[in-house]
């Protein structure tokens, strides 16, 4: 009788262990894809910020959103400081300009992009993070009344992008697409 009870107890324990192991494995299998999916989503967002665009593709997107591009030199050569080039601009920068246009309702004209002649640095024009916009009262009022002043003629949007009033134009650093 004791042998029968012992076998039943051992059998039940083995069955319980098997069921627990299967349930744990199933839980781990469903948890792993979620973690991987979250990591993939974050990686995709990071890649989207850094995705580089050609000048023509960037101009087409801006134009489609009603945003103009103007060049004092009438050109788009990235290596000429009198041109306005969008070659190698980050896609998030272009999306940020479109977000600004849609949120502000202001007419926007890009007057500076990735061309040489701007200050260097990680988050620079050359590296695709900055655009210059024509100074308009609509844009100035929107930035100054909507964003947070951080001193030195600079304002920070809710998404963290920086707007710098340089007197004759707005210099905007796009760390992201501004909530697109």
pLDDT tens across 161-180, in order?
999 999 999 999 999 999 88
**Mean of the per-residue pLDDT values of the chain:** 82
Q: Which residue has the tokens 């792993």?
A: 32
Report yes or no: 133 and 109 within 8 Å, Cβ to Cβ.
yes
Q: Cα–Cα distances in Å, from 68 out to 5, 39, 142, 159?
A: 85, 37, 18, 24
pLDDT at 30: 35
So what's the pLDDT on residue 25?
37
Same domain (yes/no): 86, 141: yes
Q: Are residues 33 and 88 in the same domain?
A: no
Residues 24 and 71 occupy one common structural domain:
no
Asked whether residue 70 falls in the same domain as residue 133, the answer is: yes
Nearest to 176 by CA among 163, 161, 164: 161
What average pLDDT does range 143-147 have in this prediction? 98
The pair of three-digit structure tokens given for residue 98, joined into one six-digit string: 């479109």
Q: How many domains does the chain have?
A: 2
How far is the C-alpha of 139 from the C-alpha of 45, rounded, in Å? Answer: 28
Q: Is a pLDDT exceeding 50 seen at residue 5?
A: no
Instruction: Please tell me the distance from the alpha carbon of residue 10 to that of residue 70, in angstroms, as a whole number.
Output: 82
pLDDT value of residue 48? 58
pLDDT digits (tens, 9 = 90+) for 10-35: 344 333 333 333 333 333 333 333 44
State the pLDDT at residue 1: 45
159 phi/psi in degrees, rounded to 5? -85, -5
pLDDT value for 12: 40
| pLDDT of res. 16 | 38
Range of the domain at 12: 1-50
What's the rounded Cα separation, in Å, for the pair 179 and 172?
A: 15
Q: Residue 115 — pLDDT band, cuts 50, 70, 90?
A: very high
Say whether both 56 and 29 belong to one domain. Answer: no
pLDDT at 49: 60
61-96 pLDDT, tens digit each? 999 999 999 999 999 999 999 999 999 999 999 999
Residue environment code for 108-137, b if the CB has 16+ CB neighbours within 10 A, otherwise e: bbbbbbbbeebeeeeeebbbbbbbbbbebe
Residues 143 and 56 reside in one and the same domain:
yes
Check pLDDT > 90 for residue 7: no
CB 92 within 8 A of CB 173: no
Domain match, 6 and 94 both: no
Q: What is the pLDDT of residue 47?
A: 57
Determine, yes or no, domain membership for 110.
yes
For 138, the token pair is: 């609509």
Which token pair is 164? 């710098």
């Amino acid at each position: 009788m004791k042998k029968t009870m012992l076998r039943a107890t051992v059998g039940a324990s083995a069955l319980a262990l098997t069921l627990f192991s299967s349930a744990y494995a199933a839980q781990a299998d469903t948890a792993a894809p979620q973690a991987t999916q979250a990591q993939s989503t974050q990686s995709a967002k990071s890649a989207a910020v850094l995705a580089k665009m050609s000048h023509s593709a960037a101009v087409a997107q801006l134009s489609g959103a009603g945003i103009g591009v103007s060049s004092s030199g009438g050109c788009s050569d990235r290596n000429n400081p009198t041109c306005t080039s969008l070659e190698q601009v980050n896609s998030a920068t272009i999306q940020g300009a479109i977000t600004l246009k849609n949120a502000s309702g202001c007419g926007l004209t890009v007057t500076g992009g990735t061309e040489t002649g701007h200050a260097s640095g990680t988050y620079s024009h050359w590296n695709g993070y900055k655009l210059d916009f024509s100074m308009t009262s609509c844009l100035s009022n929107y930035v100054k009344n909507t964003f947070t002043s951080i001193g030195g003629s600079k304002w920070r949007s809710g998404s963290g992008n920086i707007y710098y009033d340089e007197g004759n134009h707005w210099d905007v650093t796009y760390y992201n697409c501004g909530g697109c």
